[in-house]
Amino acid sequence: MQQNNGRIGVGMVGYSFMGRAHSNAYRQVTRFFDVASAPRMAAVCGRDEGATARAADALGWDSHETDYRRLVERDDVDLVDVVTPGYTHREIVLAALDAGKHVLCEKPLANTLEEAREMAAAAGDAGTVNMVCFNYRRAPAVQLAKTLVDEGRLGEIRHWRAAYLQDFIMDPSFPLIWRLQREKAGSGALGDIGAHIVDLAHFLVGPIAEVSGMTETFVKERPLEDGTGTGEVTVDDAAAFLARFEGGAIGTFEASRFAAGRRNRNSFEINGSRGSVAFDLERMNELEVYFADDPEDVQGFRTVNVTEPGHPYAGAWWPPGHILGYEHTFVHTIKDLLDGIKTGRSPAPTFEDGYRCQAVLDAVERSAASREWVAPENGGI
């Protein structure tokens, strides 16, 4: 890292939606947080020379590459950030780890459990820092939920109830994009948005012992993007599953891209023996809380506005009540990653957490096929 005079050189592979969110985070992080080592946005990488050059200019990268193998070998790159479609994660991550780089990978870690196991093992052997960008963990309201659970203020956890609902592919004329092709996406709503609520469940409640799931593909044929005909949709449009947690709680999970009117509604509720919390990304700065020992005359859910400076990350931004948004969760993620690189400690969620999430996704698909309860693989990494 010395060749970057104390800064952390970043090389990002990909530059679409997540690439824009990550680029914004690298640009913003030092303006609002004291980070151990500032990032230097060394290069962005994409296959198309022109489009990648334009992305470098628009997103604030010093240079661009068109071959990730060149990017990962650059001396001015200490951290490789992978924001490409899932089918490319494994090859890019393994090359970056082999080159001795720290790695941030978008979620889900991989398209298959086998890939995730291999990537997590390689990351453990590499001796560098690794992290998966499950960004919602770092919404201040989610951090408050974690504090209330960990401090026992909800008592024994009995229920986890989560739904991540979108509706962007409801129109049958929506084309057969890469996210709808198993060989590129690994799975559909289950792996894309279901992964988020699995990770949040792991973060807030703990390991999952077994699942019983179902998946559905409502629109089975879609127009090809080049207009030359139609193609088969080979992933789920929606998934729903039950879970038993190792700690005794029970869970319900739903991930759908056909929830009409729900553009990006990621929500969960936790019920414990002494209270409950409820989070809704559409009201990201709030946490609904209920405590059974509140005086009877004021019993009921109340809304905490999680913008007071005492909450994690909140104080770095604006005065109380000046709310945060989706993009701030990525700035918080990058801040913790940069600090982790400085201390040599991989911040959660690590690749091992990404592997454990993939194991649940894999179990849900096996359960949907067998119509039986299935235990996620729990192999040692």
Helix, strand, or coil (residue 356) = helix
Q: Interface residues for ligand SOE in 47-76 (CB under 6 A)? A: none
**Cα separation of 73 and 356, whole Å?**
29
Backbone angles phi, psi at 98, to 5 degrees: -65, -30
Nearest residue to ligand SOE on Cβ basis: 192
Q: Interface residues for ligand SOE in 199-258 (CB under 6 A)? A: none
- Asked whether the beta carbons of 154 and 61 are under 8 A apart, the reply is no
Q: For residues 42 and 259, which CB has a smaller minimum distance to ligand SOE in the complex?
A: 259
**If you write DSSP's letter for every residue of 21-65 in order, what string do you get?**
HHHHHHHHHHHHS--SS-EEEEEEE-S-HHHHHHHHHHHT-SEEE
Q: For residues 193 and 197, which CB has a smaller minimum distance to ligand SOE in the complex?
A: 193
- Residue 65 Cβ vs ligand SOE, minimum distance, rounded to whole Å: 24
- Residue 44 Cβ vs ligand SOE, minimum distance, rounded to whole Å: 19
Q: For residues 78 and 353, which CB has a smaller minimum distance to ligand SOE in the complex?
A: 353
Q: For residues 149 and 165, which CB has a smaller minimum distance to ligand SOE in the complex?
A: 165
Q: For residues 290 and 313, which CB has a smaller minimum distance to ligand SOE in the complex?
A: 313
Per CB under 6 A, 17 contacts ligand SOE: yes
Q: For residues 143 and 333, which CB has a smaller minimum distance to ligand SOE in the complex?
A: 333
Q: For residues 166 and 215, which CB has a smaller minimum distance to ligand SOE in the complex?
A: 166
- Residue 192 Cβ vs ligand SOE, minimum distance, rounded to whole Å: 5
Per CB under 6 A, 192 contacts ligand SOE: yes
CA atoms 109, 135, 124, 12: torsion sign = positive
Q: Please give the size of the binding site for ligand SOE, defined by CB under 6 A.
A: 5
Strand pairing partners for 238? 216, 256
Q: Using the rule CB under 6 A, which residue among 12, 35, 193, 337 binds ligand SOE?
A: 193
Backbone angles phi, psi at 159, to 5 degrees: -130, 140
Strand pairing partners for 168? none
- Residue 310 Cβ vs ligand SOE, minimum distance, rounded to whole Å: 27
* Contact flags string 146-175 toward ligand SOE, x per CB under 6 A: --------------------x---------
- Residue 16 Cβ vs ligand SOE, minimum distance, rounded to whole Å: 9
Per CB under 6 A, 178 contacts ligand SOE: no
Q: Angle of helix 49-59 relative to helix 17-32, nearest 10 degrees?
A: 30
**Cα separation of 166 and 220, whole Å?**
18
Q: Residue-wise over 81-105: b if at least 16 C-beta within 10 A, else e?
A: bbbbbbbebbebbbbbbebebbbbb
- Residue 13 Cβ vs ligand SOE, minimum distance, rounded to whole Å: 16
Q: For residues 9 and 108, which CB has a smaller minimum distance to ligand SOE in the complex?
A: 108
Where do we find the tokens 């699995």? 198
How far is CA 78 from each of CA 9, 73, 240, rounded to the nearest angstrom?
5, 10, 40
- Residue 133 Cβ vs ligand SOE, minimum distance, rounded to whole Å: 8
Helix, strand, or coil (residue 18) = helix
Q: For residues 103 and 255, which CB has a smaller minimum distance to ligand SOE in the complex?
A: 255
Per CB under 6 A, 264 contacts ligand SOE: yes
Q: Which helix (H) or strand (E) holds 103?
A: strand 102-105
- Residue 260 Cβ vs ligand SOE, minimum distance, rounded to whole Å: 16
**Cα separation of 172 and 230, whole Å?**
11
Per CB under 6 A, 378 contacts ligand SOE: no
Q: Which helix (H) or strand (E) holds 368?
A: helix 351-370
- Residue 63 Cβ vs ligand SOE, minimum distance, rounded to whole Å: 27
Residues that bind ligand SOE (CB under 6 A): 17, 166, 192-193, 264
